[in-house]
Amino acid sequence: MRFADLSDNMRGAVLMTVSMTAFTLNDSFFKALSDELPLFQALFLRGLGTTAGLVIVALVLKQIRFGLSRRDWGLLALRTAAEAAAAWFFLTALTHMPIANISAIMQSMPLAVTLAGAVFLGEAVGWRRLAAIAVGFVGVLMIVQPGAESFSANSLFGLASVACVTVRDLAARRMSAAVPSVMVALVAALGVTVFAGVGAAFIDWAPVSLKAAAQLGGAMVFVLFGYILSVATMRVGEISFVAPFRYTSLVVALVLGYLVWGDWPDGLTLAGAALVVGTGIFTLYRERQLRLRRRAVLPR
């Protein structure tokens, strides 16, 4: 069956799966790259390539807009600052802990965004979803394991990244439809690159070997594909159907972590990850059910 023959929901699911795989492959290249290049240098060089690629995409799709409202520019600036902070926290954790562990922590993002939407935006969240969020955060504690011998302070960087991503996504929710999706990604990439460039100005740069250049190129290509496909994903199918396929990234991280670095999470971490994923899917399912009910009672 051809891709074009699939339903909108199935095409969205395929795009989400490929997008999450691309992002996780980017993470793997970046983690491998950390053996040779300092974080800020690697992030700056990757950012140059990613930004250039997104400029081309934005120009082709004619999605560069300068006549945005002051409110949208403010939200875009907030989202970009949160993106830069999230990138630093996440990549710092990624370079010092197994990729599957940090990926498992990041799976709590939908729960954090749902809770923050209720607290800060006044979005309705029933007791079932609140209970699921509470159980999901128990799963996060099982992954992080504070107080245990296996606890790593880098897990806190992962949690800080989740907090920053939550701010980023809430800012995106408040933007008007006048802000093109590709432009949002472009401004974010540019902001991360500038942030990394400032940091890179205060460190000693390492020579870029042929191996490091290849890894850097791989990271650029996959993060660019991830950005583009994630934008395409949001335009195909129902979000409530497509969104659960974002958990593909955890499966890919588990496989790559084992094959490339020989890492495999312990049983408690895997159980925690299962709780986080399960409650995340339940939360998305409840959102879909409530949306369908609201549609059913609307006057026709």
Check whether 279 has a pLDDT greater than 70. yes
Predicted pLDDT of residue 297: 59
Predicted pLDDT of residue 244: 80
Arithmetic mean of pLDDT, 162-190:
90
Arithmetic mean of pLDDT, 168-192:
89
Find out whether 24 and 177 touch, Cβ atoms under 8 Å. no
Residue 4 is classified by DSSP as G
Residue-averaged pLDDT of the chain: 88
What confidence tens digit (pLDDT) does each residue in 88-128 have?
999 999 999 999 999 999 999 888 888 888 888 787 778 88
Residues 6+ apart with CB under 8 A from 142: 268, 269, 271, 272, 275
pLDDT band at 292 (very low <50, low <70, confident <90, very high): low
Round to whole Å and give the CA distance between 196 and 213.
18
What confidence tens digit (pLDDT) does each residue in 122-152 have?
877 788 888 988 999 999 999 998 877 667 7
Predicted pLDDT of residue 2: 72
What confidence tens digit (pLDDT) does each residue in 4-37 have?
677 777 888 888 899 999 999 999 999 999 999 9
Round to whole Å and give the CA distance between 97 and 95.
6
Residues 6+ apart with CB under 8 A from 154: 92, 93, 96, 97, 102
**Residue 27: strand, helix, or coil:** helix
Dihedral-angle region of residue 262 (phi above 0 means left; psi in -120 to 50 means alpha; beta otherwise): left
Residues 6+ apart with CB under 8 A from 179: 65, 68, 72, 76
Check whether 239 has a pLDDT greater than 70. no
Round to whole Å and give the CA distance between 37 and 30.
10
Neighbours of 206 (CB within 10 A): 12
Find out whether 194 and 87 touch, Cβ atoms under 8 Å. no
| Angle, vertex CA 190, rays to CA 185 and CA 191, nearest 5 | 95
Arithmetic mean of pLDDT, 264-278:
93
pLDDT band at 164 (very low <50, low <70, confident <90, very high): very high
Predicted pLDDT of residue 280: 86
Arithmetic mean of pLDDT, 72-100:
95
Check whether 76 has a pLDDT greater than 70. yes
Predicted pLDDT of residue 227: 82
